[in-house]
């Protein structure tokens, strides 16, 4: 039987920590414990969606301009920080932030909180826009999934994904500074692996092992969460 | 339905998510993800991790409501939506390839030996093309500078490393000198991206390289 994509995204989040590690992927059937049992035992704030996702849903479902303004206030400085890391600043960066945020407004109907956090969705939109501008050509993007996987209303799936995203963020925050730096560089598109090697003068093997270390740490944190 | 057994390596998916992959490789990744739920899930997970990093970026102080861009964006909300075109799949060609072809059929050019190609994009960062190999034919023995990434769109091919069917991706690096042979049945049609020219070992194809931009 084919597992729904929403489940697979979460498995992917666990699986991603085996990147570059030698032990291979964790067993595919490992899934987070059912949330219902835990929900009563944790504070209500932990079972609710984060602010950004709630704002984005308000934009999607009610065309809420105040919620959109909140999204802008949250993401505009972060997107500027992201863009400046690849040398895009000032008016050029503002144009990309504007284009990205307007797409957030107009494409909100495509947002599915059971598949992406608000931040993941904004990250993707801003990256697409940035690459379009750099290459002066439309970035190749995957076909959208068909109606079968249309935004769903299952609150449990949304909350489960939101919690996985929080845990991942917690794991990122728990990294040692140099490990964290490597991960940030990789996701902010600052440098390719070979460029990191050139920039720092370290042989590629060393960089790879640093990434491995960082990911190993991530994996252990996630494994601990899994066995809770 | 064919089962995809050769996927995009995670490092490439992460590089695609972060925008640091070249145009040609990005086209291969987007085309494979269009037909592979496993790699789509991995990509979306990588984007969640990217979003988590974005969340925690130092922003040098809280957002200011005096940001002039804020007014500009808020007052543009009632404007027309951006005209982004989504290209649907057409026959064997996934949406991203149709986007590169701008909705037209590929313009094939003979390469010799019955092999044909249609260049989709070439620039300083490498090139990406469609290749068509008659059933049972071999692509001349070649090595690579850099990495060659090949996605099968129709038919199949085999080389020293294994068998590749529709949806499968082969990553061939500098170490690999290989001679891909198309399977029997339909001609093998591939999407192939490189970040540097291929090196053919036989004399004639090497002469042709500047002409065909391989």
| Calpha distance B110→B116 (Å, rounded) | 4
Across the range A117-139, mean pLDDT stands at 91
**In Å, how far are A142, B108, B138, B158 from B104, measured between CA atoms?**
19, 12, 28, 29
For tokens 């990122």, the residue is A172
Is the pLDDT at A66 greater than 60? The verdict is yes
Residue B188 distance to chain A (closest CA, Å): 22
Distances (CA, A) of A82 to A34, A124, A189: 35, 12, 9
Q: What is the DSSP string of chain A?
A: -PPPHHHHHHHHHHHGGGTT-SS-PPPTT--PPPHHHHHTTS-HHHHSPPHHHHHHHHHHHH--HHHHHHHHHHHHHHHHHHHHHTT--HHHHHHHHHHHHHHHHHTGGG--TTT--HHHHHHHHHHHHHHHHHHTSPPP-PPPP-GGG-----HHHHHHHHHHHHHHHHHHHTS-HHHHHHHHHHHTT---HHHHHHHH---HHHHHHHHHHHHHHHHHHHHHHHT-
Burial class, B101, CB count within 10 angstroms (exposed 0-12 / middle 13-18 / buried 19+): middle
Tally Cβ neighbours within 10 Å of residue A133: 16
For residue B60, the model assigns a pLDDT of: 61
Residues of B in contact with A107 (CB under 8 A): 81
pLDDT at position A107, please?
95
Q: Which residues in chain B are closer than 8 Å to A5, comparing Cβ atoms?
A: 37, 40-41, 44
Q: Please tell me the distance from the alpha carbon of residue A121 to that of residue A113, in angstroms, as a whole number.
A: 9
pLDDT at B34: 94
Task: Answer yes or no: are the C-beta atoms of B17 and A127 closer than 8 Å.
Answer: yes
Residue A8 has a pLDDT of 54
DSSP state of B173: -
Higher pLDDT: A194 or B86? It is B86
Residue A102 to residue B77, Cβ atoms within 8 A? yes
B214 part of contact set with chain A, CB < 8 Å: no
> Which has more confidence, B93 or A146?
B93
pLDDT value of position A212: 46
Q: Is there a contact between B10 and A173 if contact means CB atoms under 8 Å apart?
A: no
Cβ-nearest to A169 among B18, B47, B56 = B56
Decide if pLDDT at B156 tops 90: yes
- Least CA distance to B28: which residue of chain A? A140
Token pair of A104, please? 């957030």
Identify which of B60, B73, B99 has the shortest CB distance to residue A102. B73
Contact B53 A184 (CB under 8 A): yes
Tell me: pLDDT of A196 over 90. no
pLDDT at position B90 over 60: yes
Q: Out of B48, B65, B74, whose CB is closest to A165?
A: B48
The pLDDT tens digits for B172-189 are 877 777 788 999 999 999
d(CA B77, CA B85): 20
Quick one: tokens of A53?
């996702």
Rounded to whole angstroms, the Cα distance separating B159 from B156 reads 10
The per-residue pLDDT of chain A, averaged, comes to 71
Q: Tell me: the pLDDT tens digits for A35-59? A: 444 433 434 444 567 899 999 999 9
Q: How many residues does chain B have?
A: 214
The per-residue pLDDT of chain B, averaged, comes to 84
pLDDT at A104 over 90: yes
Instruction: For B33-70, write each residue's pLDDT tens digit.
Output: 999 888 888 788 888 889 989 998 876 655 555 788 99
Task: List pLDDT tens digits, range A15-28.
Answer: 444 333 333 344 44
Share above pLDDT 90 across residues of chain B, in percent, rounded to a whole number: 46
> Which of B5 and B65 is assigned the larger pLDDT?
B5
A121 pLDDT band, cuts 50/70/90, is: very high
Helix ranges (H only) for chain B are: 10-17, 23-35, 37-55, 68-75, 95-100, 203-212
Question: What is the per-residue pLDDT for A197?
Answer: 43
CB A211 within 8 A of CB A22: no
């Amino acid at each position: 039987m084919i597992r729904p994509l929403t489940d697979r995204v979460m498995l992917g989040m666990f699986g991603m920590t085996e990147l570059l590690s030698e032990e291979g992927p964790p067993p595919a059937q490992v899934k987070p414990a059912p949330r219902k049992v835990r929900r009563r035992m944790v504070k209500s704030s932990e079972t609710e969606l984060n602010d950004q996702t709630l704002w984005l849903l308000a934009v999607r479902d009610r065309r809420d301009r105040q919620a959109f303004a909140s999204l802008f206030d949250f993401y505009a400085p972060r997107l500027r920080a992201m863009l400046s890391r690849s040398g895009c600043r000032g008016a050029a960066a503002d144009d990309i932030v504007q284009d990205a945020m307007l797409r957030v407004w107009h494409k909100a109907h495509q947002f599915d909180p059971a598949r992406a956090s608000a931040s993941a969705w904004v990250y993707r939109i801003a990256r697409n826009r940035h690459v379009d501008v750099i290459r002066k050509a439309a970035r190749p993007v995957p076909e959208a999934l068909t109606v079968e996987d249309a935004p769903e209303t299952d609150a449990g799936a949304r909350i489960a994904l939101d919690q996985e995203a929080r845990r991942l963020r917690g794991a990122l925050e728990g990294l040692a500074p140099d490990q964290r730096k490597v991960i940030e560089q990789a996701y902010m598109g600052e440098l390719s692996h070979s460029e990191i090697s050139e920039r720092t003068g370290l042989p590629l093997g060393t960089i790879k092992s640093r990434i491995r270390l960082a990911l190993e740490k991530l994996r252990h944190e996630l494994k601990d969460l899994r066995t809770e | 339905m064919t089962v995809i057994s050769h996927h995009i390596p995670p490092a490439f998916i992460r590089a695609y998510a972060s925008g640091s992959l070249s145009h040609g490789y990005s086209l291969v990744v987007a085309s494979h993800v269009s037909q592979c739920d496993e790699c789509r899930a991995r990509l979306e997970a990588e984007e969640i991790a990217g979003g988590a990093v974005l969340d925690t970026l130092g922003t040098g102080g809280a957002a200011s409501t005096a940001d002039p861009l804020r007014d500009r964006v808020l007052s543009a909300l009632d404007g027309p939506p951006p005209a982004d075109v989504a290209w649907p799949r057409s026959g064997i060609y996934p949406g991203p390839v149709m986007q590169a072809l701008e909705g037209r059929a590929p313009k094939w050019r003979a390469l010799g030996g019955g092999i044909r190609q249609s260049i989709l994009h070439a620039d300083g960062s490498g090139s990406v093309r469609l290749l068509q190999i008659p059933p049972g034919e071999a692509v001349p023995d070649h090595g690579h500078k850099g990495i060659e990434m090949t996605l099968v769109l129709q038919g199949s091919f085999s080389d020293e490393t294994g068998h590749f069917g529709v949806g499968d991706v082969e990553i061939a690096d500098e170490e690999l000198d290989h001679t891909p042979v198309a399977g029997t049945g339909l001609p093998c049609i591939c999407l192939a991206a490189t970040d540097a020219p291929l090196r053919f070992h036989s004399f004639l194809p090497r002469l042709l390289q500047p002409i065909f931009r391989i």
